[in-house]
Structure 1
Amino acid sequence: MSDRDWHERLAALGLEIVGEPRALAGGDIAEVSRLETRQGAVVAKRDDPRTLAAEADGLRALREAGSALIVPEVIALDDDLLVMEALDAGGRRDGARLGEGLRELHGVVGETHGWPRDNRCGPTPQRNTPCADGRVFQREQRLLALGRACLERGSLERTTFAALERIARGLEAWLPDAPPRLVHGDLWSGNVLYTPRGPAIIDPAVYYHYPEVDLAMLTLFGHPGEAFFEAYWDGGAPDDWPRRERLFQLYPLLNHLLLFGGGYRGAVERTIAELA
C-alpha cells in the first residue's frame, strides 16, 4: 500500500498519520506496517478479511481473559485492514512473568474443545469445530486433518500416515479428557514479545483445548527457561508431560511439513516413532 493509501485508509478510521509507514517482519503472509499517529503508534495489517476478523476475534478473547500478559488492543477492523495497538520490544526477558501470565490465561475454561469459528495457524486454515471430548478434537481437527493434507500433497509417506493414525486412534488409552482451556494456539517464540511493560503475546490462533499445546509450541524450536516452568507449573509438571509435549508438537510439525516441505519430514517421523 502506498503512503497516500495508508493516510487515506487510517484517516477514514479517525487516525492521523505523522511520519512514514515502516514495514514490519511478517509481510510474507500479510502486509504489516507500523505507523505513528497523533493518537499513538499502531500496527496495521492488510490481509484476507476473514483472516483478519478471526485474528481480531482472538486478540479480543485473549484480552478479555484478564491475565497479566499484554495483548495488543484492536483499534479498528475494516474489511481487509486490521489496526491494533503497537507494542515496543526491548523489555527484560522475564520467564517467570510469562509463566505466571500463561497459567492465568489457561485458567479460562470453555464449554467445548474448539472455537465458534475457524481461523488460521500461520497461513494454514485451522478447523475448530467444537467437540465435547478433547481426544476426539485432537484426533479429528488436528492430527488427522493435517496428516491427510500432508499425505495428499505427497509430503508424508503412507506408512508414516498409518503410524500417525494409530497414535491418533489410541489417545483414549493414555490421555485423559480434560476441561477445555483457552489457548493462544500458535505460541512459538516469535509470538512472544518482552516489552517494557512485561511479556506480551501476539498473532493468536485461539481455541479451547489442552493447555499443553501452548507449552509444546514454546519448546518446539527453543526453550522458555526454567523460571518459566517453575512459575507455570506452580507445584510440578504432570508425570506424563514429556509424552504430552511430543504429542502436541506433532500438529505444528505437520503444519511446517505442509508449508515448507521435506525439511521437516524427519522431525515428524522421529516424533511419531517416539509416540508409537
Structure 2
Amino acid sequence: MKESDWQSRLAPLGLEPVGDPQALAGGDIAAVSRLETRQGAVIVKRDDPEALRLEAEGLQALRDADSGLVVPAVIALDDDLLVMEALDSGAPRRPARLGEGLRRLHAVAGPYHGWPRDNRCGPTPQRNTPDSDGRAFQRERRLLALGEACRQRGLLDAAAGERLAMIAARLEEWLPDAEPQLVHGDLWSGNVLYTPDGPALIDPAVYYHYPEVDLAMLTLFGRPGEAFFEAYWDGEPPADWPRRERLFQLYPLLNHLYLFGGGYRAAVTATLDALGG
C-alpha cells in the first residue's frame, strides 16, 4: 500500500502516518506492518474482515480477563484493516510473571466448552460449537475434525486415523469433566512477547476449554522454564500432567501437519505412540 493510501485509510480513524510502514515477520497469514503515526506507533494488519473481527474479539476477551499480562489494545477495526497498539519487545524474559498471569487468565470461567463463533488457529478454521462436556468437545471439535481434514489431504493414512480415533474415544477415562476456562488458543512461543511492561500475548484464537491446551502448546517447541511452571501451578501439577501434555499437543501437531505437510507426520506418530494409540 502506498503512503498516500495509508493516509487515506487511516485519516478517518484519527491517525496521521509519519513515513512508510515497516513490514513485520509473520505476514504469511496476514500482511502485518508497524507504522509510526503522530498519535504513536501502531501495528496494522490487513486480512479478511471476518478474521480480523474475530481477532479483535479475542484480544478484547484477553484484556477483559485482567490477568496482569499485557495485551495490545485495538485502536480501530475498519473492513480489512485492524489497527492495534504497538508493543516494544526485547525486554528481559520474566517466565514467572508469565506463569502467574496465565494462571489468572485461566481462572476466567466460561458457560461451556467452545466459543459463540468459530475462529481460526493460524489460517486453519477452528470449530467452536459449544458443548457442555469438554471430552466431547476435544474429541469432536478438535482431534477428529482436524484428523479428518488431514486425511482428506492425504496426510494421515487410515491406520493413523484409526489410532487417533481410539485415543479420542478414551478421553472420558483420561480427563475429568472440568469447568471450561478461557484459553488463548494458539499459545506458541512466537505469540508471547517480553515487553518493558511485562509478558504480552498476541494473535489469540480464544475459546473456553481445559487450560492445559495453552500449556501444552507453549511446551511443544520449547520450554518456558521451571520458574514459569512453579508460578503457574502454585503447588504441584496434576499427577497425570505428562499424559495430558502429550494429549493436548495432538491438536497443534495435527494443525502443523495440515498446514505444512508430511514433515510433521513423525511427530504426530510419536505422540500417538506415547499415548498408546
TM over 0.5, shorter chain: yes
- The residue identity in structure 1 corresponding to 2:196 is P
Q: Which deviates the most, 12-21 or 184-193?
A: 12-21
Aligned-partner Cα distance in 2 for 1:153–1:134:
27
What SS is found at the alignment partner of 1:5?
helix
Deviation string for 1:179-202 (max 9, x for gaps)? 001000000000000001100000
1: CA distance, partners of 2:269 / 2:81: 39
Tell me the amino acid that sits aligned with residue 222 of structure 1.
Answer: G
Distance between the aligned counterparts of 1:27 and 1:57, measured in 2? 20
Query: Offset of 1:4 from its aligned partner?
Result: 1.7
Which stretches of structure 1, 4 residues or longer, exceed 6 Å deviation after superposition?
none
Q: Who is 2:91 aligned against? A: 91
Whether the 8 Å contact between 2:32 and 2:45 is mirrored in structure 1 is yes
Partner of 1:239: 239
Moved more, 17-26 or 240-249: 17-26
How many Å separate the matches in 1 of 2:4 and 2:170?
Answer: 57
Q: Which whole-Å CA distance do the structure 1 matches of 2:30 and 2:92 have between them?
A: 29
> What pairs up with 1:1-276 in 2 under 5 angstroms?
1-276=1-276
For 1:153, give the aligned amino acid. R
C-alpha separation in 1, matches of 2:40 and 2:34: 11
Q: Cα RMSD (Å) of the superposition? A: 0.6
Aligned-partner Cα distance in 2 for 1:274–1:7: 54
Residue 229 of structure 1 deviates from its aligned partner by: 0.2
How far apart are residue 40 of structure 1 and its match? 1.1
User: Is the CA contact 2:89–2:195 (under 8 Å) kept in the aligned structure 1?
Assistant: yes
User: What is the alpha-carbon distance in structure 1 between the residues aligned to residue 212 and residue 81 of structure 2?
Assistant: 32
> Which deviates more from structure 2 when the two are superposed, residues 214-223 or residues 15-24?
15-24
Letter in 2 for 1:236: E
Residue 262 of structure 1, CA deviation: 0.5
- Give the length in aligned residue pairs: 276
Q: Give the partner amino acid of 1:59.
A: L
Letter of the aligned partner of 1:199 in structure 2?
A: P
Cα separation, 2, equivalents of 1:44 and 1:135? 38
Taking the aligned partners of 1:137 and 1:267, their CA distance within structure 2 comes to: 23
Provide the secondary structure at the position in 1 that maps to 2:84: strand
Deviation at 1:6, TM superposition (A): 1.3
- When normalised by structure 1's length, the TM-score is 0.99
Tell me if the contact between 2:3 and 2:19 (Cα under 8 Å) persists in the aligned partners: no
- Whole-Å separation in 1 of the counterparts to 2:128 and 2:256: 19
Partner of 1:220, secondary structure, is coil
CA distance in 2, matches of 1:197, 1:223: 22
Q: Report the AA paired with residue 4 of structure 1.
A: S
- Aligned amino acid, residue 69 of structure 1: L
1:50-69 deviation per Cα after TM superposition (whole angstroms, max 9, x unaligned): 10010000000000000110
Residue deviations 1:229-252 (CA, integer Å, cap 9, x gap): 000000110001000000000000
**Contact conserved, 2:216 with 2:245, CA < 8 A, in 1?**
yes
TM, length-normalised to structure 2: 0.99
More deviation, 11-20/130-139: 11-20
| Post-superposition offset of 1:19 | 2.1
In terms of mean alpha carbon deviation, does 28-37 or 212-221 score higher?
28-37
**Residue 2 (structure 1) shift:** 1.9
